[in-house]
Structure 1
């Protein structure tokens, strides 16, 4: 509030909560033409980050999460706020809570209230909007608004979509006649008028800022549909005018219901404000100023006495207390700690989702409640379902008097959960952790969330975007520390891919990761699905993964009943989809961890009862794609995830068949191994053949990231793992037939490595910079190790020395080429650096074993790679990722201890067999299957 010529000048901020500055520019001519008080000065604000357009509930919550912190930081500069988004936007309610006595008006609210005031007895109002998605969204919004006691829902006639979008009005800047856009408005108007009962619709609201300025077309359409006389009786509510005039009345202290400007909605909940404070003279006499007219700048008292009407004695406005400084904050975090404290820190956190008004996904949830943990009851515990058969369950399947404060919940007749509310001490500790995480990244939290859902989530869709954004939009405190922290940590890997983040200093992700990991280990006492989701997301971070943590997540998932079929559970459809996606993500985490760490799987087939994933289990579709440069494609990511699950099932059977402790110890003939391998190879072939063309490595879109690379890499890892099992076998004789069999199996194995090498060479920048599954670094190393296995087993008693030497040199040449490709590519793909170090050490061992020939083939680069590998071992590499390493400091050693992930090959030090032996087993069919896949 400023003073100009003795009068109070009040500043109003017009808020566009999406990122389209073009739309904001369209507000200027409309608002500047309105008869508002001349001492009100308008400023315009466009959200710098978030959705470009708002077309869903998720968009609204995401938009609110971006806008609110930024608006709170500048709120003291303004006296009123106009939210220019035509929807029941949560930002309006949030600002009304935080702004105190400053009025906040949403154009949606003001438009509906204005329509109610304009209705004649027995008539109804309707809304003309933009896209089809808004019909349901605005219908729900009107019901929510009127359901809060502000009006009669029966007076609402409905919503008609015109199909007009932002592209239409942008295009129309070059088409003055705009016939196509006008036709859309005409059709929507006619549709809405025809839906009425005997012409009872007599008020139409313009429902969408894209439609600003098209009110005249609606009036013309009314006359065309109803005739000139009847059509002129239809009242059209201008959304921006309704909002601005309402705000003007509130700022000037007029009763909104009797505003002289136009019929207006009922009085808002904000208190009445004076348009000025007393001048010095009137303040001294404890009276308010009176003016002879609206244009007067000197009050009547001062004018009659010919004295100066000054405002010099006014009291200094009270300043908000600054947040206490934190002496423990590190110097590098100072830019974040000096910022204004987020007001969510003191806002009560919603705990009872059943009482939520409006269209919330959380009302009937089992596992996504804010301050409640769940625990599935096993079949052999101190509880039996038969004890409760005759008891009375409520409509949710709950038994509240079982063990208070715990509640027994039965989603179906055979599955029981114990739900327990968190104690006040537990809640307080969790809020401290949440505040610490948010303070660590402030003010970048909303943009990190947007980056995560733009780049990571499409390829790893284990969160429910709308649920996360609904909670986050109200307060980050509705999430769990692990769930919130994991999203922030992973999103930091794409810091430079956000125009908002790239110009700001990046917080220390490793420090935050260390804190969140400790919180994850503590979360098992009060398991929540969001903690399991956060743990799985965190495992995708280059530095976080370990075998111990995998076991922790599997145990947490079993506590949550994630391995149980939820098809017939009494939970919302979206929650069933979430449970299935999380379940299969946990399955993949366990199986691929078992492969790369050389361990036995935690998940047994008999204890896994989860239905296969279907497309209906994924709520997002192509229409939810983010248009920003560097985003990932939702449909492609969805299919990638589905195919990765299917591939993991084949990998699981491979590990069970060949790499259990008993399978490794058992003496096997190569004929038996090939018998077991053939059906797995056929499944791999079928999997590869059924891959959609859109998942091809060559199918990339300019300026869009593609994560299909990790899927193809996983496929080659699965193939090579199967071939390692075959090469592990020793022959029982040295017959010519055995030699032929040996040659055939090695030919197939060599084809696998050659295909993997060609795949890596085909990768593009769109792949390197995208999301890569956690096992990708180790998979690249395993492929290189396989080349070493082929090399050291290339010469045996059944192979001519010259032939064996030539084969070995060929393998080492390809290995050197593979290492070189990874080395060059690793400059743009950090996850590859681990494999480069491993292969450098491997080549050094080969040179030591095979002497001058190996050094000649591999070249002098091996010594450099060995040095890099040693640096990785000592924790000095540019990439700190290392599998199964609790301290994240022993990169190469962990893989060596696990014997290169599976089995006891140890191919770098000894040859596994002296000769490949077999009897008269015919493997030509099997080899042909392998070659066909390569082709």
Structure 2
């Protein structure tokens, strides 16, 4: 009898080792080469390069990267309108020793090896003379360790794509490969990088993607547009935008920028300049000069982003999100593209235990939630279905540690108060966005709309029943806001970005009551329920309008989230809806007066913040349509009297505070919210809609 041999199962490959967090950049003496990329290593194996592969004479003198085109003329020579020749011999280079002494022996390194001096490696340096002249000579001769090149999704010459569980490559088969110290193994479809025992990415050289590589030209055009004001605009960006929207690694960016490294992602740099230009007139040193052409910058940013998205990287997602913060540039199409791009590099996954640097894990988490908010608020703004599914979202909620720039917590024990406030606003906006997304799914999804249609005359009861849980969450979120997030928590003559958070709160509340009002049928609805629902909606509208009235210059001049224009417009739209559905002439006139007052407030605010003009245009469009509203009759007394306790509740006119009051408008809004509670009404109304719960929740 043949012996039976037991086959041992394949042992799973151990989890990849965690890549240690990278220390701060340390200066390295000029002349020492950084680790070459894979493509450069292959080139260095040859004894000499062909003429087409060597840099042209002009790029060799400038010590710039030579990017040849099909016409055998490099990009920089074509830009400078000069001949592109290959006749000069290479100049010998002298190496600087560690002790400061000089060596007369020329370097014997292969001419294909890339030098590590950031002052000579960038194709942009000749366009940044004003900045370079301000930097000390020592800083231009030092080398910055390629921290980004050790990352997963921020490498300069490589990009990655996430390999999902249903692709043609199975994780169990990939694990059989031979992995190097970077957890990478070669394959027919590119190098495969392991980040956990079951998660992999395919990495590819940027040069493998057949697209026009005009990055050097785009950077040159950006510099030509901005001129010598680039450093000043970068300072403005990190002072006014970054605290409330921390999707960049500030320390890494500034270290590279101040040391003369100019190999930044073109659309990202252009987007940063565009946002910073909003505060151009606030800077005395800049206001005296002519403002750069924003339309030209925006064109460069959008066109270069289209190319950058072909090579998925974190920098492309950052650039797209910053461009979308400009109200006029916020498009649904670009939002959807960014969601797809983020999924391409795995931003929807939990990276907390990946074998990538700690700073990159923190950055990915912040960026993922910024993308989540972009998708959800864009869906509300454009009336589209969200493209981020909760079932496929595995990113854990960020904590304060995820905002630390330094690996060592001791270095950020006490951040600047404004920076700490901005981080808190960002975290609170994430929590509010989750509630708002639930509102959209509960009331405005196609399945929800179909259920309300099937409910018929009981649709309002169904809407109210489903509104109560989400409204409790919203009320609880508001009640637990940290003190620094209150509207009155600002220093005079110092910008405060709390406005966009509270405006988002009012937009979420209005979205709930908008659906309730839409479900009301004056013919079949109970008169008292109709009165209560409309009174509650009226209260929310007044509190939102009063919030706009109380905005100060410190709020209007600060950073506002991209959805703010739409949220301002939503207040006017809600007022127009209440006016159009008003049952009596007196109520119509009330809303007509409030809407014209709101229009005046927006027109005054738009002079301080011109982006509000978009909300003003939407309000004017609604007012134009209201001209066709038929004449209403006089108010008819209610047939059913309110319960005994109703008269003791404050009237709307009493709740509406004057513009000159200094009381906290947030607490006023909460008082208004508690002014009309329908739980008592549901106890008195015995209505059953074939199983639909009749508990009212406003």
TM-score using structure 2 length: 0.69
- 1:651 deviation in Å? 1.0
- CA distances 1:582-607 after superposition (whole Å, capped 9, x unpaired): 11111111111110111111111112
5+ long unaligned stretches in structure 2: 1-22, 28-60, 64-95, 106-125, 134-141, 406-411, 635-684
**Structure 1 residues 402 and 673, CA gap change in structure 2 (3 angstroms):** same
Match of 1:748 among 526, 536, 539: 536
Partner of 1:421: 205
1:411 aligns with 2:195: yes
Contact residue 776 and residue 831 of structure 1 kept, 8 A = no
Partner of 1:478: 263
Partner of 2:640: none
Match of 2:437 among 649, 652, 659: 652
- 1:731 deviation in Å? 4.5
Partner of 2:592: 812
Contact residue 318 and residue 367 of structure 2 kept, 8 A = yes
**Structure 1 residues 852 and 683, CA gap change in structure 2 (3 angstroms):** closer
In 2, Cα distance between equivalents of 1:591 and 1:474? 38
In 2, Cα distance between equivalents of 1:420 and 1:487? 27
In 2, Cα distance between equivalents of 1:494 and 1:732? 50
1:699 aligns with 2:489: yes
Partner of 2:179: 393
Match of 2:98 among 135, 150, 155: 150
1:771 aligns with 2:559: yes
Contact residue 713 and residue 779 of structure 1 kept, 8 A = yes
- 1:810 deviation in Å? 1.5
- 1:813 deviation in Å? 1.7
In 2, Cα distance between equivalents of 1:817 and 1:602? 37
**Structure 1 residues 414 and 844, CA gap change in structure 2 (3 angstroms):** same
Match of 2:168 among 382, 390, 409: 382
**Structure 1 residues 376 and 339, CA gap change in structure 2 (3 angstroms):** closer
Other structure's SS at 1:442 match: helix
- 1:481 deviation in Å? 1.2
- CA distances 1:365-423 after superposition (whole Å, capped 9, x unpaired): 11111121111112222211111223222232111x2237x321111112111111221
Aligned length: 517
Other structure's SS at 1:420 match: strand
**Structure 1 residues 510 and 754, CA gap change in structure 2 (3 angstroms):** same
Partner of 1:712: 502
Partner of 1:591: 376
In 2, Cα distance between equivalents of 1:840 and 1:358? 54
TM-score using structure 1 length: 0.52
1:490 aligns with 2:275: yes
1:391-540 aligned at under 5 Å gives the runs 391-399=177-185, 401-403=186-188, 406-423=190-207, 428-475=213-260, 477-540=262-325
Other structure's SS at 2:598 match: helix
Partner of 2:618: 838
**Structure 1 residues 710 and 845, CA gap change in structure 2 (3 angstroms):** same
Contact residue 687 and residue 694 of structure 2 kept, 8 A = no
1:266-285 aligned at under 5 Å gives the runs 267=101
In 2, Cα distance between equivalents of 1:58 and 1:440? 31
**Structure 1 residues 461 and 544, CA gap change in structure 2 (3 angstroms):** same
Contact residue 520 and residue 530 of structure 2 kept, 8 A = no
Contact residue 471 and residue 479 of structure 1 kept, 8 A = no
Partner of 1:64: none
Partner of 2:687: 920
**Structure 1 residues 342 and 270, CA gap change in structure 2 (3 angstroms):** farther
**Structure 1 residues 390 and 440, CA gap change in structure 2 (3 angstroms):** same
**Structure 1 residues 371 and 359, CA gap change in structure 2 (3 angstroms):** closer
1:142-291 aligned at under 5 Å gives the runs 150=98, 267=101
**Structure 1 residues 378 and 814, CA gap change in structure 2 (3 angstroms):** same
Contact residue 465 and residue 695 of structure 2 kept, 8 A = no
In 2, Cα distance between equivalents of 1:480 and 1:593? 25
Contact residue 128 and residue 223 of structure 2 kept, 8 A = no
Q: CA RMSD in A?
A: 3.2
In 2, Cα distance between equivalents of 1:397 and 1:599? 40
Q: Which protein shows a greater Rg?
A: 1
- CA distances 1:592-628 after superposition (whole Å, capped 9, x unpaired): 1110111111111112111001111102569664xxx
In 2, Cα distance between equivalents of 1:847 and 1:505? 44
Other structure's SS at 2:329 match: coil
- 1:494 deviation in Å? 1.2
1:366 aligns with 2:152: yes
- 1:343 deviation in Å? 7.4
In 2, Cα distance between equivalents of 1:725 and 1:483? 39
1:315-326 aligned at under 5 Å gives the runs none
5+ long unaligned stretches in structure 1: 1-55, 61-96, 100-147, 152-265, 272-336, 345-355, 626-631, 796-803, 855-917, 928-935
1:760 aligns with 2:540: no
Contact residue 495 and residue 554 of structure 2 kept, 8 A = yes
**Structure 1 residues 577 and 848, CA gap change in structure 2 (3 angstroms):** same
- 1:543 deviation in Å? 2.1
Other structure's SS at 1:403 match: coil
- CA distances 1:861-881 after superposition (whole Å, capped 9, x unpaired): xxxxxxxxxxxxxxxxxxxxx
In 1, Cα distance between equivalents of 2:26 and 2:434? 35
- CA distances 1:85-120 after superposition (whole Å, capped 9, x unpaired): xxxxxxxxxxxx999xxxxxxxxxxxxxxxxxxxxx
- With 481-490 and 494-503 compared, the bigger mean Cα shift is at 494-503
Partner of 1:85: none
Match of 2:571 among 783, 805, 809: 783
In terms of fraction of residues, the more strand-rich structure is 1
Other structure's SS at 2:359 match: helix
- With 596-605 and 518-527 compared, the bigger mean Cα shift is at 518-527
Q: Which has the higher contact order (CA 8 A, sep 6+)?
A: 2
- CA distances 1:875-920 after superposition (whole Å, capped 9, x unpaired): xxxxxxxxxxxxxxxxxxxxxxxxxxxxxxxxxxxxxxxxxxx963
- 1:551 deviation in Å? 0.7
- 1:553 deviation in Å? 0.7
Partner of 1:821: 601
